[in-house]
Every structure is written in C-alpha cells, then in structure tokens.
C-alpha cells in the first residue's frame, strides 16, 4: 500500500516541469505565515501511514497554514530510510500541488559534498519551493566555513535555501553578522531561527535584515514575540494541533491587533511548552493519535512514546483554547 502510494506520488510530481520552480520561492509558495513540519505517522507494523500523512497535510492547510515542511526534525527524518524519505516527500508534494501551497523539504548534511548530493535529489520534486538545510553539525566550522558551505550549496541547489539555525543541536552558534552575511547570499531565502530564546542577535537581525531575507521563528514558544518584532512567520511543530489559532496569531500581528495577538500568543506559548515537555515529536504524535488523526502514537528508537500525563496536559490546553481569551 505504502509502496503504491510512493509510486503514485512520484509519478504525479515528475509529470510537472521545471517551470514550477521560480527564481525566488516557488511558483505559488511564500515564506510568510505558518508552516507545519509534518510528523511521519506509522502503522501498527511500523510502516509509514501514507494516507494519514496526506490527510494531515490537507488538515493543516485547511486550518490556514501557508505551507508544510517534509523531512524536518519533527518528521523523524534521521530514522527514515531513502525509500521512506521519498514516500514522505512525494505525498507532501502531491498535497501541495493540489492546494497551491508552499512545500519546503529538509535536506543537507554536515559535509558540503554530501549536502550537495542531498540537495541535487530535490530536482525530482518540482513542487519543492525551498530546502531547509541545517548549519553543519558536530564538525563546528568557522563562521567563514559556514558561509563557504552555504555559498556552495546555494550555487548548486535546484531550490532556494532556508538556513536552519539551531545551535543546541548543531553545536555551532552564529552571530548576527554571520546571519546577515548568509542572508545576503544569492538564493538564501531565509533562516529558521531556533536558538532557544529571543536573544540579542534575534533583535538585531530583525531590526536590520538583508532585503528579501525571511526570518522564521523555529522555537514554538517564542513565535509571538518573534512575529511582534517582524518575523515573516514560523515553522512550528505544535501548529499541528491548533493550526487555525497559529494562523490567527500571525494574522493578528500582521494587522497590528496587539491586544488579540498578545492574548493568543500567551495561550499558544503554554500549548507549545506542553507539546515539547518530552522529546519532539512524541507528545505531538501522542495528541494526534488521541484525536484519531494518526493510527498510532509510535516514534522510532531512540525516541520513546509520550507519557499519558504529557498528552493529557496538551489536550487540556487545547480545550482551554476554545474558551474566551483574556485581553
């Protein structure tokens, strides 16, 4: 079943031409708004639940998400084999083609040559509007080395790049000068900013970012203050669970509705904190399963399924979101 779906998805995407990829962010795509990095649901026998994945893609787009991210950290990409990664990408590509939505695909590697090969494979997916590429991990190159790495990738990539800046995973912090230099490189479209705080570099970057360079909040808890300071949007795992409300938050800040945005931002920060109480995406998957949206709450080792306490906490916060918010 999953294999057939993968073949269908591949056929659907390869029938489109390179005209689907523009010189900027994709023919119909945009980096504004909320993008959901989809989980990879599994069946009870451990295979990818392709139909559930496709349903999730349509559900978050129905809820107001601007786009989806395939093969992000939330999708347990490190635990998928090549055929499974192709299946996930094909399903997401088909959903985005049908909906005219933005598709971003996780790609890259710590070594530049391996990252080039990873990006080259995206040419098979005309729906891809951007690639999310992590700063090289573990090897800890200099800032100049990071710039050279992304400069080379931008030259050969079939799609624009979003730099994934997450120093607590990569061990490679970047200062604001380096981030601005990255943003000035051709075909570097933006940064997923995930430093674990709203720090001084975030303030400085958002106050003076390169023209056309998008800053996307990557820490769900801090999306509201990042939007308030001018972030273009966010790539948010917890937006699986309250997509409409996250989209509403982005719209409120964009419209200058400060009272509404503050109240909603506080409520969603609490939801996000609860969703990340245990290693991602265990709690999100546990909640999705409790809602009947995916067939199992399973994650792959070394991750473990979420505790009942963590899942219940999120479900309670989701219920509270339906109540009037304090102004």
Task: Decide if 189 contacts 214 (C-beta within 8 A).
Answer: yes
| Catalytic residue ranges | 164, 192
Q: Comparing C-alpha atoms, which of 122, 105, 100, 124 is closest to residue 29? A: 100
Cβ-based neighbours of 211, under 8 Å, separated by 6 or more: none
The phi and psi torsions of 310 (rounded to 5 degrees) equal -65, -40
288: which 2 tokens?
A: 């999705």
> SS3 for 36?
strand
Helix (H) or strand (E) holding 270: helix 258-275
Cβ-based neighbours of 213, under 8 Å, separated by 6 or more: 183, 184, 188, 189, 190, 191
Q: Rounded CA gap, 202 and 197, in Å?
A: 9
Q: Cis omega before residue 15 (within 30°)?
A: no
CA distances from 236 to 266, 301, 311, 312 (A): 15, 23, 18, 20
Q: What is the dihedral of CA 241, 242, 247, 252, to 10 degrees?
A: -140
């Amino acid at each position: 079943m999953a294999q057939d779906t993968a073949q269908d998805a591949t056929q659907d995407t390869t029938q489109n031409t390179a005209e689907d990829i523009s010189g900027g962010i994709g023919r119909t795509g945009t980096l504004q708004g909320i993008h959901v990095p989809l989980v990879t649901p599994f069946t009870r026998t451990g295979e990818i639940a392709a139909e559930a994945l496709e349903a999730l893609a349509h559900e978050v787009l129905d809820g107001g998400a601007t786009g989806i991210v395939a093969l992000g950290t939330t999708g347990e990409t490190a635990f998928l084999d090549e055929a499974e990664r192709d299946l996930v990408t094909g399903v997401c590509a088909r959903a985005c083609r049908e909906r005219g939505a933005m598709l971003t695909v996780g790609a890259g590697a710590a070594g530049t040559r391996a990252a080039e090969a990873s990006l080259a494979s995206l040419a098979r997916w005309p729906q891809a509007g951007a690639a999310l590429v992590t700063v090289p991990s573990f090897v800890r190159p200099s800032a100049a080395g990071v710039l050279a790495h992304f400069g080379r990738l931008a030259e050969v990539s079939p799609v624009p790049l979003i730099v994934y800046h997450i120093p607590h995973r990569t061990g490679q912090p970047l200062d604001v000068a380096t981030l601005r230099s990255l943003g000035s490189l051709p075909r570097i479209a933006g940064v997923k900013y995930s430093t674990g705080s709203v720090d001084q570099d975030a303030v400085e970057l958002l106050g003076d970012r390169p023209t056309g360079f998008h800053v996307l909040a990557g820490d769900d808890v801090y999306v509201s203050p990042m939007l308030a300071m001018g972030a273009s949007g966010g790539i948010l795992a917890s937006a699986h669970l309250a997509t409409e409300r996250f989209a509403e938050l982005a719209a409120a800040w964009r419209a200058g509705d400060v009272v509404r945005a503050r109240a909603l931002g506080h409520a969603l920060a609490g939801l996000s904190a609860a969703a990340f109480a245990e290693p991602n995406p265990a709690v999100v998957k546990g909640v999705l399963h409790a809602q009947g949206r995916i067939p199992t709450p399973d994650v792959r080792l070394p991750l473990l399924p979420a505790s009942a306490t963590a899942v219940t906490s999120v479900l309670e916060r989701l219920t509270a979101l339906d109540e009037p918010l304090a102004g």
